[in-house]
Amino acid sequence: MDPNLVQFKKGVLELCVLALLSRSDSYGYDIASRLSDAIDMGEGTIYPLMRRMQKDELVSTYLVESSSGPPRKYYRLTDSGRRSLDVQKSAWNDFTHSVAAILDGQEKTR
Amino acid sequence: MNDRQLFLRRLAAGLKGMPKSSIADIMADYDAHFEAGNAAGRSEADVATALGDPGRLARELRAEVGLRRWEDERSMAAALGVMVGVLGLAALDLFIVLPLLVGVVAALFSFFIVGVGMCLGGGVALPFALIAHFPGFAGDHLQAALLSLGFLSGGASVAAFCALFTIGLINLLARYGRTHYRLITARPSI
């Protein structure tokens, strides 16, 4: 894959996870497979990211008994995770609008 | 051995040396991933392929731990952890950075040794300068004492400068590791 593309995806992965979790709490496999389908990331890379986000206190975890097998670890957004989502989301929207404008040749002249 | 066991075994091998609780945590995450994959009707081989190279995942996890420790402690061991972690992760890409880094570290080390040596030399010479003449030294006691004092402080500042520079270098390396090697792999690891 184009290294540029890998960098793009890497950069937005955390934002995507925050957005997914803002809609509902979720467990590792679910997050990994949804993001892998949507933006074609290796599923395994979600776990190092989740560990970092947990240490940064953007997410917290709790266990839910499952009917089959061991209890499942669910991730939930913390307050600071929610704030981080807001900040990153608006930054992302501004940025992509600007880039889109440039790509279309209609950038604002200062 | 099936794909799941193979993956978990290789992951565990890569994580060796990390705290036991972290290893258990990580292994449980990936084990649960296989479990959920099974429940969703995927084959173990399929899940293992989608997860990616366990060796590389282990390196990412280890490097992350090293970076974090450096940010928390700023200790010598943590600095080494960053170096080893980032280098291990980046072995491929660092062919350009590595010689440079080795050069800088070697220079830094020798400057540090020289600084410490000067400092020690000045410190040892100072009392002697006050009580006795150095053989072959033309000046008087005061000159000898000032000279020793000069060496002492000069050496100390060289060593201190090296220490500051090292901290800056490690910070830089930590940033480099974070931006370039955090969660990079989009499958087949590059």
- Domains of chain A by residue range: 3-103
Nearest-neighbour CA in chain B from A48: distance (Å)? 6
Token pair 């150095």 is found at B134
Q: Of the candidates B40, B59, B64, B65, which has an alpha carbon nearest to the alpha carbon of residue B50?
A: B40
Inter-chain residue contact A1 with B40, CB threshold 8 Å: no
Inter-chain residue contact B39 with A27, CB threshold 8 Å: no
Query: Cα–Cα distances in Å, from B27 out to A26, A100, A104, B31, B67?
Result: 19, 42, 47, 6, 21
Inter-chain residue contact B57 with A44, CB threshold 8 Å: yes
Average pLDDT of the residues in B101-111: 89
Q: Which of A5, A41, A47 sits opposite B30 (nearest CB)?
A: A47
> Candidates 3.40.50.300, 1.10.10.10, 1.10.3720.10, 1.20.120.550; correct CATH number of A3-103?
1.10.10.10
Of B93 and B145, the structure prediction assigns the larger pLDDT to: B145
Q: Which amino acid is at B166?
A: T
Q: Which of B8, B15, B33 best probes binding to A when mutated, by most A CB atoms within 10 angstroms?
A: B33
Strand partners, B184: none
3-state SS assignment for residue A61? strand
Instruction: Reply yes or no on whether the pLDDT at B103 is more than 80.
Output: yes
Integer Cα distance of B45 and B51 in angstroms:
10
* pLDDT the model gives residue B139: 74
Alpha carbons within 13 angstroms on the beta-carbon side of residue A53 total: 29
Is the C-alpha dihedral spanning B91, B95, B101, B102 positive or negative?
positive
Inter-chain residue contact B57 with A32, CB threshold 8 Å: no
Q: Which of A5, A10, A67 best probes binding to B when mutated, by most B CB atoms within 10 angstroms?
A: A10
pTM of the model: 0.64
Of B70 and B58, the structure prediction assigns the larger pLDDT to: B58
